[in-house]
Amino acid sequence: MKLLKRIWRFIWKTAMWFLILSVGLTLVYRFVPVPVTPLMVIRLVEQMIDSEKKVRLSKDWVPMSEISKNAPQAVYASEDQKFLDHNGFDFEAMQKAWEGNKKGKRIKGASTITQQTVKNVFLWPDRSYIRKGLEAYFTVLVEVLWPKERIMEVYLNVIEMGPGIYGIEAAAQNYYNKPAVKLNRSEAAMIAAVLPNPNRWNPKKPTPYILGRQAWILRQMNNLAPLGYGN
């Protein structure tokens, strides 16, 4: 009985500390720029292990006021058109993805901008049930504690946008030699077009498929109401 009590006490204390630390960190990141993410660290280690890869970490946090309004509009159109309406989960897209997986198909669009932000800021790349459970937990926390504009701001600053390139400012500087606030609609749409696989596609060398995605994103940007974020 004493052993069981000790085990239960350990589990209880661990759960309480996890709750306190996770809520505390989420609150801190509502106001403070995210300095580094687990994915950035993992990619750096991969680069150092692989002698053929260049060790690179290009990132520069900028507030929404220093980001072109075209950037949030482009990722909104490309990645999550229900961003303003959902509470972190697009259940319709999740259902379609589930049905597609059962048929052996890959369905894009089940992961919302909030979920992608959570994966980048708090978690690691994995498909395990534990990671998925933590993703759901942090998604709820972020939707409760952060306004939508903050979610978009963090997303645009931490998302991987190329080999060793993180965030819209680094992407704008590396691909177009300009700050993020100067990105035009075409450039923002091109960056958004490569986000599904930024280590495979390059905005400076777009394939016909990426050019098609860019054109589709530009049409969607015209059809969707402006987010009102950015400069």
| Domains defined for the chain, CATH in brackets | 43-223 (1.10.3810.10)
Q: d(Cα 212, Cα 190) in Å, to the nearest integer?
A: 10
Q: What is the DSSP letter of 65?
A: G
Mean pLDDT of all residues in the chain? Answer: 90
Residue 208 DSSP code:
H
Torsion from C-alpha of 75, 76, 82, 85, nearest 10 degrees: 130
What is the pLDDT, as a whole number, of residue 99?
60
* Alpha carbons 185 and 106: distance in angstroms, whole number: 29
Question: Are 82 and 107 a contacting pair, CB within 8 Å?
Answer: no
Q: Per residue in 190-200, pLDDT tens?
A: 999 999 999 99
d(Cα 151, Cα 97) in Å, to the nearest integer? Answer: 24
Q: Among residues of the chain, what percentage have pLDDT more than 70?
A: 92
Q: What is the pLDDT of residue 174?
A: 96
Mean local confidence (pLDDT), 136-150: 97
pLDDT at residue 136 tops 60: yes
Q: How far apart are CA 56 and CA 163, in angstroms?
A: 8
For 115-128, write each residue's pLDDT tens digit: 999 999 999 888 88
Q: What percent of the chain has pLDDT over 90?
A: 71
pLDDT at 52: 72
Residue 37: which region, alpha, beta or left (left: phi > 0; alpha: psi -120 to 50)? beta
pLDDT for residue 167 is more than 90: yes
Q: List the beta bridge partners of residue 84.
A: none
DSSP string, 148-179: HHHHHHHHHHHSEEETTEESHHHHHHHHHSS-
- Cα(89)–Cα(143) distance, rounded to whole angstroms? 10
Say what the pLDDT of residue 103 is.
Answer: 59
Question: For the residues 130-135, what does the mean pLDDT come to?
Answer: 92
Paired tokens of 7? 């085990």
pLDDT tier at 14 (50, 70, 90 boundaries)? confident
Judged against a pLDDT cut of 90, whether residue 60 lies above it is answered with yes
Where residue 106 falls among pLDDT bands split at 50, 70, 90? low
Query: 197: helix, coil or strand?
Result: coil
